[in-house]
Structure 1
Amino acid sequence: MAKHSQVLLTTWLDHPTADFVEWIAHHRALGVNRIHVFLSDTLTEVPPLAAALESAGLIETSFIAFDRSEASEQIRNAAIHAARIEASETSGWGLFLAPDEYLTLSRHDTLPDMMNALKTVHALSAPVRRFYSKTLERTHTPGAVLGDVSHRGADPVADGTGGREWRSIVKLGLWPDRLPGYPVGKMKTGLSKVRWLNGAGKPMPKPHANRTWQHDDDSFGSELAAIGRVPAPSIETLLLRAAYVKPGKAQAMADDLIAILNEARSKHIKDDALAGAAKARQAEIERILKTPSVAQAYHAQCEEEAARIKVQTKRHGLWNAVLAHLDEVPPVNGAPQVAALPIPPAAPHPDPVAPVKVHPRVPDEFARVATDPPPRWFHEIYPGGDRQGFLIRLEHHALIHIERDPDTLIVTFDNISNVNDISYGRKPWAYDFVRGGGYSHFSVISRRKDWYRDPQIIDELRRRAEQGFFSRYKKVVMAGTSMGGFAAMAFSSLVPGCIVLAYSPQSTLDRELVPWEERFDMGRERNWSLPHSDASFEIQSAKKVYVIYDPFFEPDKLHIERLEGDNVVLLKSWFAGHFSAVFIRRANLIKPLFQMVIDETLTEDAYYRLLRGRRSLAWYRKSLEQRAIETGHDTLAKRVGPAFDHLRRQLRKHAQQEA
């Protein structure tokens, strides 16, 4: 290994376990000399074992925000932070791994030896494979887990979308960003030729992107390097790692764990890539544990795990669900046989008038979907419906199109308040209004708070634009609020000449462009090097961009100040805060306002005449009083209440006369 060659390994941890010492030792034996660990900012302090390792100079730690409601996103968030560290360096190699993933090398002793032998390589992507012990034992011994790991599955790990996974070793200082599997974004050096290899040392297919690689067998060579994922070194270890799951989610987690165990019982290929490195790894473990503080924290962690298994974990519903089921199944060749748990009965339907009818051939967990009336939008486009259209389900998003008016298309984007709605009856944003007007509707639905910073949804929208989907309409209106308002502006460049309606939008969450933005932690951690990331740039080709915001709400106002152009119409909604769409809706103005946008009759004068209707809102009264007090106008504040009551009486009298 070159004397001063830096090899940076980044990972993330929620609750470090004793096997983390072995994970560090394994990679130090392969030439890693710098390890950075991201911890959840929900922790009050660095866990004792990690703190001891950091004090000994073996790791670095930093806290980052994790979305606790969406654990699968933690690794993506950590990868984004890892890329920032990688981009700030000028030499050496970087690798990002999950805490149960281990680099394996077939022909070289260390990672620098391999990369130097390949010469002038900029990135190498190695496939991820699952490894198991020959027989999964129930007994858990806290500490090292790799000693018996000598078998692997036949194929690279599936990523859940029909493709397969990999991890990439990258030359530091070249890429501004990364996903867990590979770096992304425009290279800083502007190299005209990038040498990107697979785990066999052969060129990766071009372009260097997920869609190109996923289904191409040439992407997954592993003769030089691969990544070993060890999801279940023992049954109790597997359960220990998942012991922090809430009891209410134990059944779903149990099903996932049993699926892993079923895979472990299937056909294996003997592979000593992990077990074969035991001697060098053990030597590193012994060196690490020579530091008294590390040894003390390590042994304390082992004792804590043993106690958790003996007392706490066995009381957990997840633990009981899996182990009890293993006890019910006769062993095969001396090893426990694992089968799927029975699916629990479906919860009672909330509507007593229309109880769920359990279909005799449909599992109970799908009974509600199978027997409930379908949502209105599905009525329109299902095979027997009256409309043409489609539903496209992507990994984190969905697209719904309903063809009604051949001349006018309304494009809507979800906001963050919708993302956790997984109900069968979920409707596209503004569905009722668009349907009532008879307009064609193209809805972009999000399942996470990502500000549409996902290559898959961006590629799909661009492909639709390139194929002429939007251009066949005479008029296209793009609308949304907050995250959806950002998207309406950011993707307007795909439809030159469109009209945009954005409530309280962000212009971007790119930290370099808006360093003052401190809201939306999940959004700020996304990949803002992807296309359509700065709405202030993307709106230039739109015909009109109507932006409704509260000028008294500073965080939104700063974003609005970044929007420039003769096509931008800024409309103020005082005292709405970040909820201008809610404010306008409560004043019963949202439908007439939307209609004026579609009809292209909305002007500033027309808007403010319409906005006078907000004066009857108690929200407006309280905000006006508060504003007067804050600015020292106490006398004015006292006049607001009587004036508001007088106006309400006039409105009631007028309504009675009209009736």
Structure 2
Amino acid sequence: MQNESSWNIELTGLDYAEWRRKLEAIGESVGFFEPLGSKHHALFHEDGDTLLVSFESFPGIGALSDDARPLGLEIAEANSWSLLSLVSRNDTWFRDGEVYGFFDQLTDDGFFDDFERVVFYGAGPCGYAAAAYSVSAPGAIVVALQPQATLDPRITEWDDRFTEQRRMQFTDRYGYAPDMIDGAEQGYIIYDSREPLDAMHAALFHRRNVTRFRVPFLGTALQAALLEMGILTQIVTEAAEGRLTTQSFAQAMRARREYGPYLRKLLARLEHEERLELVRILCTFVTDRKTAPRFRRRLRALRKLEDGMSDDADAEALDGDEAETAR
């Protein structure tokens, strides 16, 4: 990525105001920086002819990035893409007139027309924003992790996670994300199908141009899981290049076999369902490949149980033989 040295500034340990001031200095040297009121900003880093439009929150960046740089920068750098990074001070779903106006201006200026490909990316509330604002760049690619479709209680009254945010306006411009994604060339919605509320939102994105990928047992922190497995950049890259298919996604998700949180959730589910043979197979698979005390203890307990059952069966058979002899 051109002007990469501009990012060699210490960003960790800063409050939002100071962090944003440093981002402004970076933006002025690599492209532009646009404050969008007190809660949002946009930073453009010009590089290749593919543009990644990423939506993130300041707390999310702090939790996921060791160097406090936007996650979108990591994905863009890996591919020599240009980056338009939208950041919110907290979870706002980017529902703000300043943000509306910014995307209106980009559209009027033909900003997106300067790129061969445009990719919108975000997770959770930021996934909502990625889908909603993709309407400003018809023909774009959208990758959204466990996005909300809307918080309008008339549609999603069943989602009790964000009751305070229902006061936000989701019925005006850039409002209902599943409708806004209609203009995209292709949308990809990735979610844990065993998380009921995330799955219900994902169902609202049923569209001709949307592919939904289910990733059970990865939980509600899906972005963090894909990062820890080292496959998030790969997924976004394949989506941008038109190479993300059911088969390629399944191949990427094979990384779950080495991912502890996934394996532990799968074990807990199998134990809850009392599927002991599958528990034994899973524990054997895991302990053959890595140090996993929890799985090793469970496998040992299963083997003791099986040995005990075998001893009981032998004793019953012996009792039967003795009874037959007595006759």
TM class by smaller structure: 0.7 to 0.9
* CA distances 1:364-388 after superposition (whole Å, capped 9, x unpaired): x99x969xx956x844x44xx4x33
Which residue of 31, 38, 46 corresponds with 1:388?
A: 31
Which residue of 597, 601, 606 corresponds with 2:243?
A: 601
1:582 aligns with 2:224: yes
Q: Which amino acid aligns with 2:45?
A: I
* CA distances 1:499-555 after superposition (whole Å, capped 9, x unpaired): 000111111111001110111234322122221121111111100101111111111
Structure 1 519/492 Cα, relative in aligned 2: closer, same or farther at 3 Å?
A: same
Structure 1 493/390 Cα, relative in aligned 2: closer, same or farther at 3 Å?
A: same
Structure 1 378/634 Cα, relative in aligned 2: closer, same or farther at 3 Å?
A: farther
Partner of 1:397: 40
Which residue of 114, 118, 123 corresponds with 1:472?
A: 114
Post-superposition offset of 1:574: 1.4
Post-superposition offset of 1:474: 1.5
Q: Which amino acid aligns with 1:501?
A: V
Q: For the residues of structure 1 that align with 2:226 and 2:62, how far apart are their CA atoms?
A: 24
Give the secondary-structure state (helix, strand or coil) at the position aligned to 1:610.
Answer: helix
1:591 aligns with 2:243: no
Partner of 1:615: 257
Q: Which amino acid aligns with 1:502?
A: A
Partner of 1:435: 77
More moved, 466-475 vs 491-500: 466-475
Q: For the residues of structure 2 that align with 1:463 and 1:374, how far apart are their CA atoms?
A: 24
CA contact (8 A) 1:450 1:522 kept: no
1:531 aligns with 2:177: no
Which residue of 186, 195, 203 corresponds with 1:544?
A: 186
Q: For the residues of structure 2 that align with 1:418 and 1:587, how far apart are their CA atoms?
A: 18
Higher normalized helix content (fraction of residues): 2
Post-superposition offset of 1:608: 0.3
Give the secondary-structure state (helix, strand or coil) at the position aligned to 1:569.
Answer: strand
CA contact (8 A) 1:614 1:620 kept: yes
Give the secondary-structure state (helix, strand or coil) at the position aligned to 1:477.
Answer: strand
Q: For the residues of structure 1 that align with 2:133 and 2:84, how far apart are their CA atoms?
A: 13
CA contact (8 A) 1:489 1:539 kept: yes
Give the secondary-structure state (helix, strand or coil) at the position aligned to 2:156.
Answer: coil
Q: Which amino acid aligns with 1:617?
A: Y
5 Å-filtered alignment, 1:50-129, equals: none
Q: For the residues of structure 2 that align with 1:608 and 1:464, how far apart are their CA atoms?
A: 36
5 Å-filtered alignment, 1:6-45, equals: none
Structure 1 420/437 Cα, relative in aligned 2: closer, same or farther at 3 Å?
A: closer
When the two structures are aligned, how many residues end up with a matched partner? 274
Q: For the residues of structure 1 that align with 2:59 and 2:76, how far apart are their CA atoms?
A: 20
CA contact (8 A) 2:52 2:83 kept: yes
Structure 1 634/552 Cα, relative in aligned 2: closer, same or farther at 3 Å?
A: same
Q: Which runs of 5+ in 1 are unaligned?
A: 1-353, 355-364, 650-659
Q: For the residues of structure 2 that align with 1:466 and 1:545, how far apart are their CA atoms?
A: 24
Pairwise CA RMSD of aligned residues? 2.7
Partner of 2:204: 562
Q: Which amino acid aligns with 1:510?
A: D
Give the secondary-structure state (helix, strand or coil) at the position aligned to 2:32.
Answer: strand
Q: Which amino acid aligns with 1:476?
A: V
Q: For the residues of structure 1 that align with 2:76 and 2:39, how far apart are their CA atoms?
A: 24
Q: For the residues of structure 1 that align with 2:247 and 2:58, how far apart are their CA atoms?
A: 31
Structure 1 637/570 Cα, relative in aligned 2: closer, same or farther at 3 Å?
A: same
Structure 1 546/450 Cα, relative in aligned 2: closer, same or farther at 3 Å?
A: same
CA contact (8 A) 1:486 1:508 kept: yes
Q: For the residues of structure 2 that align with 1:487 and 1:458, how far apart are their CA atoms?
A: 11
Q: Which amino acid aligns with 2:182?
A: Q
Partner of 2:98: 456
Q: For the residues of structure 2 that align with 1:430 and 1:493, how far apart are their CA atoms?
A: 20
Post-superposition offset of 1:389: 2.8
Structure 1 426/609 Cα, relative in aligned 2: closer, same or farther at 3 Å?
A: closer
5 Å-filtered alignment, 1:506-521, equals: 506-521=148-163
CA contact (8 A) 1:491 1:538 kept: yes
Partner of 1:645: 287
Partner of 1:494: 136
Post-superposition offset of 1:491: 0.9
CA contact (8 A) 1:455 1:530 kept: no
Q: TM-score, normalized by length of structure 1?
A: 0.39
Q: For the residues of structure 2 that align with 1:416 and 1:633, how far apart are their CA atoms?
A: 42
Give me the identity figure in percent. 23
Post-superposition offset of 1:393: 4.4
Q: Which amino acid aligns with 1:626?
A: A
Q: For the residues of structure 1 that align with 2:175 and 2:185, how far apart are their CA atoms?
A: 20
* CA distances 1:133-171 after superposition (whole Å, capped 9, x unpaired): xxxxxxxxxxxxxxxxxxxxxxxxxxxxxxxxxxxxxxx
CA contact (8 A) 1:416 1:483 kept: no
Q: For the residues of structure 2 that align with 1:529 and 1:443, how far apart are their CA atoms?
A: 25
CA contact (8 A) 1:419 1:446 kept: no
Give the secondary-structure state (helix, strand or coil) at the position aligned to 2:113.
Answer: coil
Structure 1 420/617 Cα, relative in aligned 2: closer, same or farther at 3 Å?
A: closer
* CA distances 1:296-354 after superposition (whole Å, capped 9, x unpaired): xxxxxxxxxxxxxxxxxxxxxxxxxxxxxxxxxxxxxxxxxxxxxxxxxxxxxxxxxx9
* CA distances 1:537-594 after superposition (whole Å, capped 9, x unpaired): 1111100101111111111000111112221111111111212221112211112222
Give the secondary-structure state (helix, strand or coil) at the position aligned to 1:491.
Answer: helix
Q: Which amino acid aligns with 1:455?
A: G
Q: For the residues of structure 1 that align with 2:118 and 2:158, how far apart are their CA atoms?
A: 33
Q: Which amino acid aligns with 1:399?
A: A
CA contact (8 A) 1:429 1:443 kept: no
Partner of 2:213: 571
Partner of 1:146: none
Post-superposition offset of 1:466: 2.0
Structure 1 420/531 Cα, relative in aligned 2: closer, same or farther at 3 Å?
A: farther
Q: For the residues of structure 1 that align with 2:228 and 2:114, how far apart are their CA atoms?
A: 35
Post-superposition offset of 1:606: 0.6
Give the secondary-structure state (helix, strand or coil) at the position aligned to 1:452.
Answer: coil
Q: For the residues of structure 1 that align with 2:254 and 2:282, how far apart are their CA atoms?
A: 15
Larger Cα-atom Rg = 1
Q: Which runs of 5+ in 2 are unaligned?
A: 1-9, 292-327
Larger RCO (CA under 8 A, 6+ residues apart): 2
Structure 1 418/583 Cα, relative in aligned 2: closer, same or farther at 3 Å?
A: closer
